[in-house]
Amino acid sequence: MAYRITRRGSIKAVSATIGIGALGASGRAAAQTQPAVIFGGTIPFSGRWAEIGQSVHAGYQTVVKYVNEVKGGIDIGGKRHRLELRLVDDASDPQRATTLLQKQIDDDVRFFLGSYSTPIILPQVALTERARKPMVQAGGGGDPIFTQGYKFVFGMYPRASRSAFPAVDAFEALSPKPQTVTVVYTNDPFSKPQGLGVIERLKEKGMQVVKVFELPAQLQDVSAVLTSVREDAPDIVMCLTSDQNSLLIARQMAQSRTDVKMLFTSLGPQAASFREALGKYAGGITCISTWSPTFPYTDPIFGSTAKFAEYYRANNTLPLIYHQGTAAACIVAYVNALQTVGRTDDPIAVRDALAKLDIESLYGRIKFTPQGDGDPVLMGSAVTQVQGGDIKVIAPERLREAAPQWPIEPWSKR
């Protein structure tokens, strides 16, 4: 009972501020008589991935709260069911994560949601696979999750090595076409394959990779890299980096007046705090938005992406970024599969339904590849650019909100 503590009054205020809204007592009481669909899993609430863990958790929580309190449960096989989360803290520690997940498998939890980061999710998938119970996750994009023949794991993203393709494709379409690109990635299980994938894609698309920088996983100082960028003066710098690292790079670029025609950071500008920290210097920075609350999709539970965003913001203070959206989509996918199957006691049938799933959701189209990751075209990210303090989709065409700003303004002219 992970939430008992958060229902205590004294802690409630704190938990609300960091976005762990507990299930409201009133909604719970009304729904108490309905049978529950229990989703298990672990969340990195402390340790290295704590920040993202909180967002992922808030995303799961939002769907559950909405279904139970606003919709009064969901219909599965003609009977109303409420949803229940049973998530515990894995402290970003894989050994702890597997041990705690085993407890839930023992307790006959049938459906699992993802933690965050490939080193945690991969060992967990080995357990759920053996127990023949599905896991739908939005936290592990590492290629090995999808290349070892596992049948019960589904991921909301295309695997890491394919995940930044949309950005390369968008740059190819710019006019005049960019010629030279410097690629920067950090040496971790997600960014590195992402970076190597980007390098291949750039070559395929006829752009020249001037230089490649492989950086340590946590950056303190990139002034030396920037000195070299100023010398090479590439058209585009593409950084496959976490938001903290991206902030550092963008900041040091602005400080040192390292001008390029386009700056891309895979993670960062999606968060308002990132844009606020950089102020006018955030303008023009491009990123891939796996998801954005402005996407014009319909959703079987919330009605639309916008309504999900509205409900989320009314109940949470933690800024709404793509982690909440992708996490929420995991449960939307489950609900759909459960309704197709019409019963909650058959995880294998639910797995089969998930594999065949093809729906539109608040996240966009959900259709998994036969290996279980997101389809690289259908579920590929949008490419967004900071314009006027907000992020605007510049590609693909069907989602476009604004024309790309190309080249971006030099730092000194701002």
Partner 1 sequence: MTALVQTLVNGLLYGGILSIAAVGFSLIFGVMSVINLTHGIFVIGGAYGALMAWSVLGIDPLLSIPPLMLVAFALGWGCQRLVIQPAVERGNPVAALLVTFGFTLIAVNLLTVTFSSSVRSISPSYSFINLRVGDISIDLVRLVAFACGLALIAILGSFLRFSRWGRVIRATALSELGARLCGVDARAVYALTFAVASAFAAASGVLIGMMLPFTPAEEVTWTVYAFIVVTLGGVGSLGGAMLGGLLLGLVSTLTQTYLGAVYTNMVMFLILLATLLVRPNGILGSAFKASR
Partner 2 sequence: MARRITILLLAVLLIAALATLPFFLKAFYVRVGLSIFLSAGFAVCWWLLAGFTSYYSFGHTAFVGIGAFAAALALRAVPEAAPALQLAWALGAGLVVAGGIAMIIAWPILRLRGHYFTIAMLAVALVLGEAVAAFPIFGGSTGLALPNLAPMSVRVEAFFYWIALALLAVVLAIAWAISRSRLGYGLAAIREDEDAAQMLGVPTTRFKVVAFVLSGALTGSIGAVYALNLGYITSDSVFRGSLSLEMIVNSLVGGMGSILGPVIGAAVMTGVTKLVLADLLEYHLAITGILIIAVVLLAPDGIVGLWRRRRAREAER
Q: Which residues of this protein are in contact with partner 2, per CB under 8 A?
A: 1-6, 11, 15, 20, 43, 45-46, 48, 87-89, 91, 93-96, 98-100, 102-103, 105-107, 118-119, 122-123, 126, 130, 142, 144, 148, 187-189, 192-193, 216-217
Of residues 99 and 255, the one with the C-beta less far from partner 1: 255
Cα–Cα distance between 206 and 191 in angstroms, integer? Answer: 22
Of residues 186 and 270, the one with the C-beta less far from partner 2: 186
Q: Binder to partner 1 among 63, 181, 215, 386 (CB under 8 A)?
A: 215
And the tokens for 201? 């894609």
Do the beta carbons of residue 393 and residue 369 sit within 8 Å? no
Cis peptide before 404 (omega within 30 of 0): no
Cα–Cα distance between 379 and 367 in angstroms, integer? Answer: 7
Describe the chain by its helix, strand, coil percentages, rounded to 5.
45, 20, 35
Which residues inside 32-91 make contact with partner 1, applying CB under 8 A? Answer: 46-48, 50-51, 53-54
Of residues 6 and 304, the one with the C-beta less far from partner 2: 6
Pick from 278, 281, 277, 249: nearest CA to 183: 249
Q: Binder to partner 1 among 106, 231, 345, 397 (CB under 8 A)?
A: 231
User: What does 213 bind: partner 1, partner 2, none (CB cut-off 5 to 8 Å by kind)?
Assistant: partner 1
The residue type at 134: P
Tokens 């950090």 locate to 186
User: What is the Cβ-side half-sphere exposure of residue 278, based on CA atoms within 13 angstroms?
Assistant: 32
Cα–Cα distance between 374 and 285 in angstroms, integer? Answer: 25
And the tokens for 5? 């503590």
Is 383 a binding residue for partner 1 by CB under 8 A? The answer is: no
User: What does 179 bind: partner 2, partner 1, none (CB cut-off 5 to 8 Å by kind)?
Assistant: none
What is the total count of residues that contact partner 1 (CB under 8 A)?
A: 45
User: What does 203 bind: partner 2, partner 1, none (CB cut-off 5 to 8 Å by kind)?
Assistant: none
Cα–Cα distance between 2 and 129 in angstroms, integer? Answer: 24
Is 99 a binding residue for partner 1 by CB under 8 A? The answer is: no
- Applying CB under 8 A, which residues contact partner 1? 14, 17-19, 46-48, 50-51, 53-54, 187, 213-216, 218, 220-225, 227-228, 231, 243-244, 247-248, 251-252, 254-257, 271, 273-274, 277-279, 281, 318, 411
